[in-house]
Amino acid sequence: MTTLNGEDEVAGLCRDLIRIDSTNAGDNSGPGERAAAEYVAEKLAEVGLEPRILESDSRRANVVVRVEGEDPSRDALLLHGHLDVVPFDAADWTLHPLSGEIADDCVWGRGAVDMKNMDAMILAVVRQRISEGRRPPRDVVLAFTADEEAGGEYGAQWLAAEHKDLFEGCTEAIGEVGGFSVSIDDARRLYLIEAAEKGIAWMRLTATGRAGHGSMLNAENAVTELAEAVGRVGRYQWPVRLTRTVETFLTETSRALGFDFDPDDPEATVAKLGPLARMIGATLRNTANPTMLQAGYKANVIPQTATAHIDGRFLPGYEEEFFQTLDELLGPNVTREFVYHDVALETGFDGPLVRAMADALVAEDPGALAVPYTLSGGTDLKAFSVMGVRGFGFAPLKLPADLDFSGMFHGVDERVPVDSLKFGVRVLDRFLDAC
């Protein structure tokens, strides 16, 4: 077999994946991930691997393959990336989101940031290593999943429930969202590695009252009851709760920026983080945002019920407090039920795998400082964690200082610099040598 060069291939792989429409509207109606999965499987089969395409439903396809390591008696490492992307409105974009065009030294399109970039980096580095006959020190399981953007029912959740055997021995995992750089100055960059995720509680609220004529007295109006409860939840100032990961992040970041971290005023540090403050600020506390309201059908009819939806996110270790507070805010006349409920995660930023990530970054960027952070959203890691896997978000990218990377997740004009992808391939290669 001729040897392949991951740095040469990675932008093309990313472009090809972006050109395959795998948008996921969340209702199982779109094109599915089948075509993307076939592409990925073909690229893996080309170097002699034997990937499996696993469909959870028509065209909802996942790809899993095990790369044998030098010491198969060691626990395995899971490398995972999702193949689906969120929908887009092409009119808002400079270049068509499915064009995968390479312009201004960037690959453009939906998924360039979330997360066909990492899928391409994984493919590129694995293809190169296999073509050179270089095995990782232990088994590495690659999983390319469907449906992450809608909670993973047809992807990671389904794999963890129906194909657990394929992940035999996996105790650690690497996936999104993390490993990207945030510049401190010309010489130094923070690399944010996800070590924790907030939990998710999407809820439907219902107030039930007494239906009746809009012209008469009614002290049991469901609309009034619900509106007040929603107002209390929406305006509530959730107290700051410093989790281990957030405290480490703020301490390290403050030191790098040249001032002392004051645990009594964490928001002072967050305020200095620029565009990153939106994401990091949400990890200082639980949150609950009202997102939908429904009630009534005619101006002179008081309906019997009124409903609302709340997007709740709780910190690791603070789920109980979250629901206790929420129930106090809702009061006795509003009930809640889950539309979606998933765990919060947190793992220590220590051990050989963390060292392998930090060392690989420093080897390629001497100004790199790896710091753990908490993701305000969720990833496939939640589903894989059920199998006892400890995971990190590590899709390494050295980015230009002026690129608002975190703002491009699900945003318009998603793009990733070609040089950043090449950097990612080199870092992942070193990481896999040491994993």
Report the nearest approach of Zn ion to the CB of residue 149 (Å).
Answer: 7
Nearer to Zn ion, 20 or 270 (CB): 20
Cβ count near 79 (within 10 Å): 25
Report the nearest approach of Zn ion to the CB of residue 179 (Å).
Answer: 13
Nearer to Zn ion, 363 or 412 (CB): 412
Nearer to Zn ion, 115 or 233 (CB): 115
Q: 65 Cβ partners below 8 Å, 6+ apart? A: 44, 49, 50, 51, 52, 141, 142
The yes or no reply on residue 225 touching Zn ion (CB under 5 A) is no
Report the nearest approach of Zn ion to the CB of residue 369 (Å).
Answer: 24
Applying CB under 5 A, which part among 106-114, 158-166, 259-267, 293-301 lies near Zn ion? Answer: 106-114
Applying CB under 5 A, which part among 113-121, 151-159, 187-195, 290-298 lies near Zn ion? Answer: 113-121
Report the nearest approach of Zn ion to the CB of residue 148 (Å).
Answer: 6
Nearer to Zn ion, 175 or 372 (CB): 175
Residue nearest to Zn ion (CB): 114
Report the nearest approach of Zn ion to the CB of residue 283 (Å).
Answer: 17
DSSP 131-169: HTT---SS-EEEEEES-GGGTSTTTHHHHHHH-GGGGTT
Nearer to Zn ion, 114 or 342 (CB): 114
Q: Measured in whole angstroms, how far is the alpha carbon of residue 236 from the centre of its chain?
A: 26
What backbone phi and psi angles, to 5 degrees, belong to 137? -65, -25
Evaluate the CA torsion angle 24, 29, 30, 31 in order and state its sign: positive
Q: What residues are paired with 67 via a beta bridge?
A: 140
Tokens of 184: 């401190």
Residue type, position 338, single letter:
F
Applying CB under 5 A, which part among 45-53, 109-117, 125-133, 265-273 lies near Zn ion? Answer: 109-117
Long-range contacts of 397-400 (CB under 8 A, 24+ apart): 397/117, 397/179, 397/180, 397/181, 397/421, 397/423, 397/424, 398/181, 398/189, 398/364, 398/365, 398/368, 398/423, 399/180, 399/181, 399/182, 399/183
What backbone phi and psi angles, to 5 degrees, belong to 129? -60, -45
Tokens of 396: 């390494």
Binding mask 129-168 for Zn ion (x = CB under 5 A): ----------------------------------------
Report the nearest approach of Zn ion to the CB of residue 417 (Å).
Answer: 19
The one among 18, 40, 115, 326 contacting Zn ion by CB under 5 A: 115
Nearer to Zn ion, 33 or 114 (CB): 114
Nearer to Zn ion, 151 or 266 (CB): 151
Do residues 391 and 172 make contact, with C-beta atoms less than 8 angstroms apart?
Answer: yes
Report the nearest approach of Zn ion to the CB of residue 197 (Å).
Answer: 12
Do residues 392 and 178 make contact, with C-beta atoms less than 8 angstroms apart?
Answer: yes
Report the nearest approach of Zn ion to the CB of residue 217 (Å).
Answer: 52
Report the nearest approach of Zn ion to the CB of residue 114 (Å).
Answer: 4
The yes or no reply on residue 33 touching Zn ion (CB under 5 A) is no
Do residues 138 and 67 make contact, with C-beta atoms less than 8 angstroms apart?
Answer: no
Binding mask 174-193 for Zn ion (x = CB under 5 A): --x-----------------
Report the nearest approach of Zn ion to the CB of residue 5 (Å).
Answer: 27
Q: What is the DSSP letter of 27?
A: S
Nearer to Zn ion, 256 or 408 (CB): 408
Do residues 395 and 424 make contact, with C-beta atoms less than 8 angstroms apart?
Answer: yes
For 1, what's the count of Cα atoms within 13 Å in the CB-facing half-sphere? 16
The yes or no reply on residue 114 touching Zn ion (CB under 5 A) is yes
Number of residues that bind Zn ion (CB under 5 A): 3
Element spanning 248, H or E: helix 244-257
Applying CB under 5 A, which part among 18-26, 118-126, 173-181, 356-364 lies near Zn ion? Answer: 173-181
Applying CB under 5 A, which part among 84-92, 103-111, 115-123, 365-373 lies near Zn ion? Answer: 115-123
d(CA 208, CA 335): 9
Binding site for Zn ion (CB under 5 A): 114-115, 176
